[in-house]
Amino acid sequence: MKAKGFSIVELLVVVSVISILLAVSIAGFPQIKANLSLIRQANNFQQDLRIAQEMALSGALYKDSSGIERQIDGYGVFVDILGLGSKKYIIYADKSPGNKQYDSADYIILNSDFSLSEKGVKFQQINNVSLNKTSVNFSSSKIETSINQLNFGQSSAEFIFSLESDSSKTKKVIVNTAGLIEVK
């Protein structure tokens, strides 16, 4: 009479296959986590650009910390890899009369520092602009997108995010002067 069930050899084979699959997935977890942080930060930056764009298009007024409405000419995002660092950017309201770029007279809406939320991710560079710094400004009065310090003949800025541990792993956020914002 033949007994029903699994033999000890069959059970050992199944347990060893499961162990190998588990070991492989655990070994790759830190890299998977880093890649997800990179993707998440690129998408967060794209979202912040779109928020500034939407505020400008809606004609939203800026209220300062005292609740006083201030006259502005648009909203934007400022990135300066050397000045602010490779993990920070500023969302600002362009104080009227606006100059379509961030300066010390503008109202800061948000100082974004992603060094704690997305560890291991940084701005690697900004393509098509001078000195790795630029303001992307969305005008309220005219439906217009300005990119400060854009190189001659260029119509878009490319913000390159990378992993600190592997600079070959990148995500690109592209903004053009027509206002299109995309992540690649």
Cis status, amide bond into 97, omega within 30 of 0: yes
- Number of domains, the chain: 1
Residue 57 in any domain: the answer is yes
* CATH number of 107's domain: 3.55.40.10
Residue 84 in any domain: the answer is yes
**What is the predicted pLDDT for the residue at 128?**
98
**What is the predicted pLDDT for the residue at 26?**
83
CA distance 56 to 144: 10
CA distance 126 to 159: 5
Written as tens digits, the pLDDT of the chain (184 aa) is 566 788 899 999 999 999 999 888 888 888 989 999 999 999 999 999 999 999 999 988 899 889 999 999 999 999 999 999 999 999 999 999 989 999 999 999 999 999 989 999 999 999 999 999 999 999 988 889 999 999 999 999 999 999 999 999 999 999 999 999 999 9
**What is the predicted pLDDT for the residue at 102?**
97
Residue 142 in any domain: the answer is yes
Cα Dmax for the chain:
95
Residue 136 in any domain: the answer is yes
Which residue bears the tokens 């291991």?
A: 120
Q: Domain span at residue 178?
A: 8-183
Residue 78 in any domain: the answer is yes
100: left (phi over 0), alpha (psi -120 to 50) or beta: left
Residue 54 in any domain: the answer is yes
CA distance 22 to 20: 5
Is the full-model pTM beyond 0.85?
yes
**What is the predicted pLDDT for the residue at 129?**
97
CA distance 52 to 127: 21
- Report the half-sphere exposure of 98 (CA within 13 A, side-chain side): 26
**What is the predicted pLDDT for the residue at 1?**
56
**What is the predicted pLDDT for the residue at 140?**
85
